[in-house]
Amino acid sequence: DQQVKQNSPSLSVQEGRISILNCDYTNSMFDYFLWYKKYPAEGPTFLISISSIKDKNEDGRFTVFLNKSAKHLSLHIVPSQPGDSAVYFCAATRNQFYFGTGTSLTVIP
């Protein structure tokens, strides 16, 4: 029973354009959300997070949006760069971390 879902397994974007990665969750008790980035043969690394009391958090080219009523969060990358090509996992937590299945982003030069 997947509590955090990423319905797009893959996404391709031209360099310089916006990448939008989406994530849906089912548990309204989640109070903290994170995005992780993973390169092949490496562990996931933390990218950006947002508390449930906010609806937006920005860090350089990365912005996370949270829509609690829709139980939806998204990660925007602007502008996208080839080095952003990786698998992105969203995660939600209350007492435990629950991860989505990941979206593989390819940024085409």
In angstroms, the CA 42 to CA 16 distance is 26
From the CB of 93, what's the least distance to other proteins, in Å?
7
From the CB of 81, what's the least distance to other proteins, in Å?
22
Nearer to other proteins, 2 or 14 (CB): 2
Determine phi and psi for 58, rounding to 5 degrees.
-125, 140
Residues 63-102 that bind other proteins (CB under 8 A): 89, 91, 93, 95-102
Nearer to other proteins, 43 or 83 (CB): 43
Altogether, the residues listed in the chain come to a count of 109
Cβ 48 vs Cβ 75: under 8 Å: yes
In angstroms, the CA 44 to CA 18 distance is 22
Cβ 81 vs Cβ 18: under 8 Å: no
Which one among 29, 43, 60, 109 touches other proteins, defined by CB under 8 A? 43
Q: In the complex, which residues of this chain contact other proteins (CB under 8 A)?
A: 4, 6, 31-32, 34, 36, 41-46, 49, 89, 91, 93, 95-102
